[in-house]
A and B are shown apart, each in its own frame.
Chain A
Amino acid sequence: MEEVRLMKGNEAIAHAAIRYGADGYFGYPITPQSEVLETLEAEMPWETTGMVVLQAESEVAAINMIYGGAASGKAVMTSSSSPGISLKQEGISYIAAAELPALIVNVMRGGPGLGTIQPSQADYYQATKGGGHGDYHLIVLAPATVQEMADFVALGFDLAFKYRTPAMILADGIVGQMMEKVVLPEPRARRTQAEVEAQCPWAATGRHGREHRNVVTSLELDPSRMELNNERFQRTYAEIEANEVRYAEYYTDDAEYLIVAFGSVARICLKAIEDARAKGVKVGLLRPITLWPFPKTRIGELASQAKGILTVELNAGQMIDDVRLASECRVPVAHFGRMGGIVPNPNEVLDALYNHFPEAKP
C-alpha cells in the first residue's frame, strides 16, 4: 500500500529531490521556502544517496554552483523566493545559454522590492518572459498541491535533461507552506558516473580518455555563429511548445464562462465554480500546469465557446496577457487579482465574475 504522509510543500520538494536521485542542492535561506534547505540538511542525504547539500553564501553563489554542477552533467537544483530569484537571474540566463539541465524552485512571495513574506504570483512575467537577459525560456511548472510539489521535481528534472534547458517550479507561498497529504515517489538510485557521461557527452566531467576536451560556455564572439546558437535555442523552444503543454480542465464541457488560474489560486477558483454551478451558472476552469509553454491552443478553443473569460491571479494581471493573446480577442477577458500577500476567498472570485459579466449572475 502507498505510504501517505502529511507535510509542507517545501518539505515535499526536498524529499522528492532525494528520492529522484538528485546529485546536488545548493541554496540560501529565504522565507517562505527555507524548509527546502532545512529538510535536506536534516535528512543528510550525503550519507544515504551521496547527494551533496550546501548552504551557499548568497543566491548568486547558489545559482552559479548550479551552473557548475550542471556543467558536469549532474542533476542539481536550487530553490528560493522572489527577491532571491531576482538575484539568480544572471545565472539562469547563463544556464539557459550554455544549454544545461537544472531545476530551480521559486516559492513566490509578494513584491516588488523586499515586499512581504506572504504568498504571491507576481513573478509570472519574470518566470515566463525571460527574467534574465537574452532570448531564452524556462520550462515553468505551476503546482497547485503538495502532491504536485513532489511530483514536479521529477518532471522538472526529466524535462530539463530531455531538452538541456533549465526548468522552474513556480510555486506560491501557499503551496510551499501548507501541509497536505502526499505520496512520495519511489526512491531511485543516483546515476553512476558512467551513466552521467553516457547521458551527457557534452559535460565537463574531466576527459577520462575522451579524445576532445569539453567546454561549457555561453560565449561566442562571432555573430554568425552566435545567431546559429540562438536559432538552435529557438528550435528547442519550438519543440517544447509542441510537446510539453500541460493543463487541467474542470467543468469546461458546457462552460459559458471560463476562469483561468494557476497554482493554489486555481483551487480557490474551483470552490467558487462549484458554488456557482450549484446555482446553475455554467462556469468552468482551465488550470495551466505549464505556464511556459502556455496552453494557448486549448484556451483559444475554449474562447470560441465561452461568453467571457476571467483570469484570477495573485498579482495585478500578468497571465491575462497570455490568455488574451490565446483568445485572439474573440471574447472579453477580465482580470481579478489580489496583491501584497492577500489571498481571495471563493465569494470574491464569484463577485468579480458577476461584476465583469453581469449576465452570468444567477
Chain B
Amino acid sequence: MTPEEIINPANRVYARPRLLTEANTHYCPGCSHGVVHRIVAELLEEMGLENRAVGVAPVGCAVFAYNYIDVDWVEAAHGRAPAVATALSRLNPDNLVFTYQGDGDLAAIGTAETIHAANRGENIAIIFINNAIYGMTGGQMAPTTLLGQKTATTPYGRRADLNGYPLNITDLLAQLRGTCYVTRQAVHTAAAARKTKAAIKKAFENALAGKGTSVVEVVGTCSSGWKMTPAQANDWMAEHMTEHYPLGDLKNE
C-alpha cells in the first residue's frame, strides 16, 4: 500500500471532535486538561447536546475552556461555578449544565458553593480536575497538595502542622444526599481516559435525567507546576497521587 492509499478518509479512526474548536490551547505539554476537554467535546457531540449544553468555566488553568469547546459558556468568578450553575440549571431545566473546575477553585475558595450545590442536589455535572497544585498562578500549594509535596508556597514540602492536610473533598461530597454519582478517575493512560469518558457520560446522563449532582474527579498532572517532564508527571501521579486519591466509584445510585 502506498501512503496515499493509507491516508484516506475511509481509513480514519481518530479525528478532532467537531465541537473541539481549532483554537490553539494555552495548556502546557502533557497537561491533563487537553484530554478531558477532548472527552467533553466528544461526549457533547455523541450525545447530541451541542444545542442544549451550557458549560461554566472556572478561574484557574481552565479559565479559557470556553475557547475550546464549541457550546455556550459562562465564565464564573473564582470558586463560584456551582452557584452560577445552580441558577443556570434551575432557570433552564431543559439544558445540560456542567461545571469544569480545578482543585483551588472547587476545594479551596469555592468549598461552600460546591458543598451546598451538591447538597441541594442541583441537576448539574461537576468535572473536577485535581492536579494538586495551582497551575495558572505559578505552582502554589492547592488544598489537595500532598504532604511533603514541594510547591512555590511550600518550598520545603507541605507540612501538616503548617499547612494542614490534603483535602479529599470528593469523599466528602459522596456523603451528601444530594449527590447521585461520585467517582474518581484519571487520564494518564488510554484505558484510564476511556473510563473517564464513561464517567462523564454518566454524569451528563444523570443531570439530564434530573437525578441530582454528579461529581467526576479527574486526578491529573501538572508537569510545569510539578517541574517534571510529562512522562515523569504521569509516573509520579500513578505512584503518589492515587495513594491518597484512589481511583474508582465512591457512589453510584
Contact = CB atoms under 8 A, between A and B. Distances in A.
Interface of A: 23-24, 26, 52, 54, 56-58, 60-62, 64-69, 71-72, 74, 76, 90-91, 94, 98, 204-209, 213-219
A206 B54 contact: yes
B86 interface: yes
A208 B80 contact: no
B76 A67 contact: yes
Interface in B103-118: 112-113, 116
A13 B84 CA distance: 24
B116 A207 contact: no
Contacts of B53: 206
A293 B212 CA distance: 44
B69 to A, nearest CB: 8
Contacts of B77: 64, 67, 90-91, 94
Given A54-B90, A61-B113, A208-B52, 8 more contacts: A24-B87, A54-B86, A64-B83, A65-B86, A67-B74, A67-B84, A72-B91, A206-B53
Contacts of A60: 80, 83, 112-113
A213 B73 contact: yes
A68 B116 contact: no
A56 B57 CA distance: 21
A25 B32 CA distance: 38
B92 A206 contact: yes
Contacts of B54: 72, 204-206
Given A61-B116, A206-B52, A206-B95, A71 B74 contact: yes
Given A24-B90, A57-B116, A58-B112, A213 B71 contact: yes
B116 A209 contact: no
B88 A61 contact: no
Question: Which 8 A-B residue pairings sit nearest by Cβ, starting from the closest?
Answer: A68-B84, A217-B75, A68-B87, A64-B80, A64-B83, A69-B87, A57-B116, A65-B87
Interface of B: 50-54, 56-57, 63-64, 66, 70-77, 80, 83-88, 90-92, 94-95, 112-113, 116
Nearest to A23: B91
A49 to B, nearest CB: 13
Nearest to B69: A213
Contact of B113 (A57, A69, A209): A57
Contacts of A215: 66, 72-75
Nearest to A50: B91
A58 B53 CA distance: 27
A90 B84 CA distance: 14
A215 B74 CA distance: 6
Contact of A219 (B63, B88, B116): B63
Contact of A69 (B51, B66, B80, B88): B88
A62 B82 CA distance: 11
Contacts of A208: 51-52
A69 B91 contact: yes
Contacts of A64: 76-77, 80, 83-84, 87, 113
A221 to B, nearest CB: 9
A56 B83 contact: yes
Given A61-B113, A68-B87, A206 B80 contact: no
Contact of B72 (A54, A65, A98, A205): A205
A9 to B, nearest CB: 25
22 contacts: A24-B90, A56-B83, A58-B112, A61-B86, A64-B80, A67-B80, A68-B76, A69-B88, A71-B74, A72-B88, A72-B92, A204-B54, A205-B92, A206-B92, A206-B94, A206-B95, A209-B51, A213-B70, A213-B73, A214-B72, A217-B66, A218-B75
A103 to B, nearest CB: 14
A71 B84 CA distance: 9
A309 B64 CA distance: 52
Nearest to B49: A206
A64 B87 CA distance: 8
A191 to B, nearest CB: 12
Contacts of B83: 56, 60-62, 64-65, 68
Nearest to A52: B90
A214 B88 CA distance: 14
B72 A66 contact: no
Contacts of B86: 54, 61, 65, 68
B63 A204 contact: no
B210 to A, nearest CB: 15
A57 B71 CA distance: 29
Contacts of A74: 87, 91-92
B51 A206 contact: yes
B53 to A, nearest CB: 7
Contacts of A26: 87
Nearest to A212: B70
B113 A207 contact: no
Contacts of A71: 74, 84, 88
A218 B75 CA distance: 8
